[in-house]
């Protein structure tokens, strides 16, 4: 028998305020047409002024725990993937422990920007397989609206706020790719590309949170190639190819990146969960949001083979293959 980390529950939360593309036409030299055609984004959610990343994470965590039929103290730990924490420290994850009333276990944040959730899933899987925990809450939560330069039309129209969560618990299989649970992962980063996507402030530099800066076009060109390579690597480890995938659940940065990656993998677009039109780019939250939407819509079902893949600042990128 082989130990496996199974998805036991999933949930998400989006802030109430929905901002359509037309809002940006009032203050910037941009148009709904440009944003839709270049990115696929139609609207995004922005957190209220008094709503923080840990608040979004709390709602998503509760939804995931409810769907698993579990209470906060049933989990051994929390991993929150975020680049937009409430405070420099303590972690969003420990704030979440407090908000959920969790009195045991451990909690920490993990930062790999848009690839954060893939990194967190891979880390959680390793902890479960090595017996450091039996059951973990894995969350992607972001308030990217707080690091936008509202005068920069090339970035501020692209991002949104939200949170998604999964509960991973113990399972068993025969060690084959037919098992349910996390089957393989592939993680990468390359610091030579730091300038492509970064925030121009921080604790030990400016002492401020800073604003997001991105060279969109060069990053776009890196994205399709690196996402296809990491997806092939994770699938190859378990002897599978794109033909075996039921659902690609990609990081939702740009519909054209998603289409390009699916095409290279020879996976038709009707087997890709798309939320970019409604959520924009929510960084580490985008994959768990899309997983949760895919399940809520009755598309992702038990036994389906799911590929998650993401790339973002660093550059950091990777993929996780799991059977739902
Ligand atoms: O989540 C992390 C990973 N992020 C990504 O992977 C994002 C990757 N990049 C992208 O998604 C795309 O590169 C963008 C959506 C950011 C931009 O699309 P693009 O097709 O690469 O456009 P571009 O940057 O080459 O810009 C084309 C034109 C430029 O004008 P000129 O120089 O051709 O006159 C821009 O100034 O579009 C202009 N532009 C805009 N026009 C209207 C840039 N932003 C806007 C805007 N409205 N909001």
CATH superfamily membership of 181-323: Thiolase/Chalcone synthase (3.40.47.10)
Q: Please tell me the distance between residue 120's alpha carbon and the centre of ligand 1 in angstroms.
A: 29
Q: Please tell me the distance between residue 154's alpha carbon and the centre of ligand 1 in angstroms.
A: 6
Predicted pLDDT at 129: 97
- In tens, the pLDDT along 54-74 reads 999 999 999 999 999 999 999
List of residues 6+ apart from 47 with CB closer than 8 A: 15, 17, 55, 56, 143, 145, 146, 161
Q: Which CATH class is domain 2-173?
A: alpha beta
Nearest CA to ligand 1 atom 25: 217
Task: Note the Cα 76 to chain centre separation in Å.
Answer: 21
Predicted pLDDT at 154: 98
Q: Which residues share a beta bridge with 250?
A: 309
Interval 216-242 mean pLDDT: 97
Predicted pLDDT at 56: 98
Interval 247-273 mean pLDDT: 97
Measured from the Cα of 281, ligand 1's closest atom is: 1
* Mean per-residue pLDDT over the chain, rounded: 98
Predicted pLDDT at 256: 98
Q: Please tell me the distance between residue 201's alpha carbon and the centre of ligand 1 in angstroms.
A: 23
Measured from the Cα of 31, ligand 1's closest atom is: 47
Interval 171-188 mean pLDDT: 97
Predicted pLDDT at 242: 95
Q: Please tell me the distance between residue 134's alpha carbon and the centre of ligand 1 in angstroms.
A: 44
Domain ranges of the chain: 2-173, 181-323
First to last CA, the chain: 19
Confidence of residue 257 (pLDDT cuts 50, 70, 90): very high
Confidence of residue 28 (pLDDT cuts 50, 70, 90): very high
Place of tokens 């089957």: 183
* 181-323 shares the fold of 2-173: yes
Q: Name the catalytic one among 114, 125, 156, 279.
A: 114
CA dihedral sign, ordered 251, 252, 253, 255: positive
Query: Is 281 in the active site?
Result: yes
Q: Which of 150, 220, 256, 261 to mutate to test the pocket of ligand 1 (most atoms within 8 A of CB)?
A: 220
Confidence of residue 319 (pLDDT cuts 50, 70, 90): very high
- In tens, the pLDDT along 96-125 reads 999 999 999 999 999 999 999 999 999 999
Nearest CA to ligand 1 atom 26: 217
Confidence of residue 49 (pLDDT cuts 50, 70, 90): very high
Interval 85-90 mean pLDDT: 98
| Residue 273 main-chain phi, psi, to 5 deg | -85, 120
Under a CB-based contact definition with an 8 Å cutoff, are residues 187 and 117 in contact? no
Residues with CB under 6 A from ligand 1: 30, 34-35, 38-39, 114, 153-154, 157, 197, 216-217, 219-220, 223, 253-254, 257, 281, 311-312
CA dihedral sign, ordered 235, 239, 241, 243: negative
Place of tokens 């996390």: 182
Query: Is 45 in the active site?
Result: no
Predicted pLDDT at 70: 98
Query: Is 59 in the active site?
Result: no
Measured from the Cα of 313, ligand 1's closest atom is: 2
**Whole-model pTM over 0.75:** yes
Predicted pLDDT at 243: 95
Query: How far apart are the C-alpha atoms of 187 and 234, rounded to whole Å?
Result: 9
Nearest CA to ligand 1 atom 9: 216
Predicted pLDDT at 62: 98
Confidence of residue 15 (pLDDT cuts 50, 70, 90): very high
């Amino acid at each position: 028998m082989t130990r496996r980390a199974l998805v036991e529950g999933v949930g998400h939360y989006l802030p109430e305020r929905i901002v359509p593309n037309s809002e940006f036409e009032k203050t910037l030299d941009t148009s709904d047409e440009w944003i839709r055609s270049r990115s696929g984004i139609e609207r995004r959610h922005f957190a209220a002024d008094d709503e923080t990343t840990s608040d979004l994470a709390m709602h998503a965590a509760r939804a995931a725990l409810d769907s698993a039929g579990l209470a906060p103290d049933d989990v051994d730990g929390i991993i929150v993937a975020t680049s937009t924490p409430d405070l420099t420290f303590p972690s969003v994850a420990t704030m979440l422990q407090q908000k959920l009333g969790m009195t045991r276990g451990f909690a920490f944040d993990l930062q790999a920007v848009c690839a954060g959730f893939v990194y967190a899933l891979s880390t959680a899987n390793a902890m479960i397989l090595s017996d450091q925990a039996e059951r973990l809450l894995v969350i992607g939560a972001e308030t990217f609206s707080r690091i936008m330069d509202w005068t920069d039309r090339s970035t501020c129209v692209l991002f949104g706020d939200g949170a998604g969560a999964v509960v991973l618990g113990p399972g068993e299989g025969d060690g084959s790719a037919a098992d349910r649970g996390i089957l393989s992962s592939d993680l990468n980063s390359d610091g030579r590309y730091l300038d492509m996507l970064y925030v121009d402030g921080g604790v030990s530099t400016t002492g401020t949170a800073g604003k997001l800066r991105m060279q969109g076009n060069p990053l776009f060109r890196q994205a399709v190639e690196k996402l296809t390579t990491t997806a092939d690597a994770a699938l190859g480890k378990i002897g599978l190819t794109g033909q075996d995938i039921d659902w690609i659940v990609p990081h939702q940065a740009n519909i054209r990146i998603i289409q390009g990656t699916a095409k290279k993998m020879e996976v038709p677009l009707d087997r890709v969960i798309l939320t970019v039109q409604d959520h924009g780019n929510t960084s580490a939250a985008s994959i768990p949001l899309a997983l949760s939407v895919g399940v809520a819509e009755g598309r992702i079902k038990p036994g389906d083979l799911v590929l998650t893949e993401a790339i973002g600042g660093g550059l950091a990128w990777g993929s996780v293959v799991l059977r739902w």
